[in-house]
Amino acid sequence: MQALPYATQLLARLGAEVVKVEHPRSGDLGRGSLPAMPGPDGVPMGATFVRNNLGKRSITIDIASDAGRELVLALAPRFDVVCENFKAGSLASKGLGYTDVAAVHPAVVYLSVSGFGNTTDSPYGAWPAYAAVAEAMSGLYEWKRAGDDPRW
Residues recorded for the chain: 152
Where are the alpha helices (H) located in 29-143, listed in sequence order? 47-52, 66-75, 90-93, 98-104, 131-138
Say whether pLDDT at 145 is over 60: yes
| Predicted TM-score (pTM) of this structure | 0.80
**Domain ranges in the chain?**
1-60, 64-152
What span, in angstroms and rounded, lies between the C-alpha atoms of 78 and 81? 9
What span, in angstroms and rounded, lies between the C-alpha atoms of 133 and 49? 20
**Cβ pair 89, 118 in contact under 8 A:** yes
Render pLDDT for 69-121 as a digit per residue (tens, 0 to 9).
Answer: 999 999 999 999 999 988 888 899 999 999 999 999 999 999 988 888 877 78
Domain 64-152 is of which CATH architecture? 3-Layer(aba) Sandwich (3.40)
Render pLDDT for 28-58 as a digit per residue (tens, 0 to 9).
Answer: 888 888 999 898 899 899 988 888 898 999 9
Any idea what DSSP says for residue 113? Answer: -
